[in-house]
Amino acid sequence: MHLDEREECGYRIYAGALEATQANGYIAAAVISRRDASGQREAWRDTSMSGGHVWRSPNDALRFAIARAPEVTRREPERLAC
């Protein structure tokens, strides 16, 4: 598993490249969370980004997850369960 994290629009984004179970390669995954009075709370999760497309390298999958997850915070805030 390869991970990266960053802040975006008040949310914490955790992106990952996970080994694919059905094929050789990696899938992109991301979790977006937000801190509130009760602590860190998950707002969105996608463990099969891009329909489960399999990338040959973990860096490619991670790059996709890092690029896609912030789009949710900016363009689709209604998808965030907070």
d(CA 40, CA 26): 27
Nearest to 8 by CA among 80, 61, 59: 80
CATH value at residue 65: 3.30.160
Entry pTM = 0.82
49 lies in which domain range?
2-79
What pLDDT score was predicted for residue 57?
A: 96
Q: Give the residues across from 36 on adjacent strands.
A: 39
Q: Residue 21: CB partners within 8 Å, gap ≥ 6?
A: none
Within 10 angstroms of residue 5's Cβ, the number of other Cβ atoms is 13
What pLDDT score was predicted for residue 70?
A: 87
What pLDDT score was predicted for residue 82?
A: 56
Please identify every stretch of the chain with a pLDDT value under 70, giving residue numbers as ranges. 81-82
What pLDDT score was predicted for residue 30?
A: 95
Phi, psi of 7 (to 5 degrees): -95, 145
Number of domains in the chain: 1
